[in-house]
Structure 1
Amino acid sequence: MAIGVPETDVFAAADAVLARGERPTVERVRVELGRGSPARVGQLLEQWWEQLAQRLKGHALLPDLPSEAAQGFAEVWRLAVAQAEGIARTALTAEQNALFAAQTALTQERKLWEIALAEAQTNALDSAAKLAQSELQLRERQTLVDQLTTQVADLLQQRDHLQRQLAQQLANLDTLRAAHASVQEHARTVEDRAHQQVDQARQEIKDLQQRLEREQYDARQRVAQLIAQQEELRGAVRLAEQATAHHTGRVVALEAMIMQWRKTLERPKQISTRRDKSNSASKKVAKKKH
């Protein structure tokens, strides 16, 4: 609130309130002024009420009226002034009460402001401590930001390097894709050729199977013929074995007869041999005697 508002402004504001047909009060005058403390406006308003009575007495001098009218008008004016003074005193009392209430409110408000100021000072100290802590954290974060900036620069370099590698790999990939397409084309060609060879092999296998079936049929026929021939040979072998057994018996009998005949022939030869040996020995003895 503004302090030291001029009394002329307060008087003019009170006149303006009174001209509207309202009783000038501290709040109405302050509203009319738009400024001023309740104490200052109340003090000046008391002076305005005192000056109002003097102003009203001055206006009561009407020299141009007849004496009877002037006396009647003066009596009416006196009664009006008296009533106005009563109203003024009542208003002044009300204003004083309002002023006291305002002073009380201001005292309470001052205490509240003092409490708020103490709290504000405490908060200011806390804020200062928090500010120091914040500045420390800010410096730490700035250090961290610097580190992160360095890391970002390193990461950007790594990104550029990786991008170059990626470009090289993409080029290699294009080359591989071209080679893959060529390989696929070659594979399709080989596959088509393989399909042709498989079809040809299947046809050859089919022909071989038919040939094998014919040869198996012929083989089964030959086997049947061989089995029949084997049965015939077995019969022939059995007959030959029987004949052989018969001839073997005859051969054994003939061998026995031959052995007997040989023994019969060897006996005279043995006797003649013994004789020749005896004669030879006698001749040798006779020669030695001579």
Structure 2
Amino acid sequence: MATGITETDVWTAADALLLEGARPTIERVRQKIGRGSPNTVSPYLETWFRSLGARIKDPGAFAAPAATPDPVAQAAAHFWEVALAEARAQQEQAHRGRWEELAREGEQLASDAEQLQQREAQLANREQDLQETLRVATSQLAAAEDRLQAAEQQLRQRDELLKRNQLQLEDARSATQAALAESEKIRAQHAQALEATETRHSAHERRWLNELDSERGAVKRLQARLDEAQAASQQQAAQARKALEQEQDQRRLAEQETQAGRAEIQAQQLQQQADQAAANAALAAAREREESLASRLAAAELRAAESLAQLKGKDEQLGELTRHLMSLARNETAAGQASAADPQR
């Protein structure tokens, strides 16, 4: 940078270049000093050239210090003589070409300044675009975070729904177990009732058979008595026939009671079958409800896993986009700083 460059610095650098056998130019003086802009170095170098003639007339103007070794002093004297010869030969040419060189350098500097301004404007535009892109990415990231929070809320709600479904499934299983136990209890009761009915029917049937055998024996006895008494009296025969009819009526009544018992047993069997069918239907309905709840639970878990995977994918994409934008911003900032630090670029 040109800040801090003085005329003494430019004259010292020009003297050193002249002692080295090189013609002092703006670029060489800048390289010798290590800093400075052409606009700052140029007027100081012009005054150096204007005073060079008067300084040449002074033999001690470029004399080396007294402590300088002889070989160095001789080399300096040699370079001084060469520089003087070249300066005398090129003084007029330097004056003529100097203004042309300064004009070209001024044009070059103006072009460089215009290019620098254009690049600074481009960098400013790029920085504005990057800031806008970063702002959009930040808003997208915030929206993604909101969506993620909403998805997490949905997941929590689904977890609660799953818990409720699991509780309902447990309740259904408990109800099914209770229904099965009740069905087994009813089946046992029906079996006991059927066994008791069959026992009672067997007892009745044995009693009725015994009574029938007794009646048959009585009929046989009456028939024998009838045969024995037939010759004795028609009235006794009629009474005997009437008694036989009464016995037959009692036998028919006994048979009717037997048929009524069988019908009661059949009705109890039909009732038991109906109760068994109802218990089976209740068991099938409970199992169907359990399967439905299990399928709904599996579907809800699958949807929750898919939603979580999609959210993770979106988070990775947004993170990659953010890292890419930040990398572009760092590269552009570094390029802008490098261009600002080197005006010749």
TM-score (norm. length: structure 1): 0.40
| Bigger radius of gyration among the two | 1
Greater RCO (Cα-Cα under 8 Å, separation 6 or more): 2
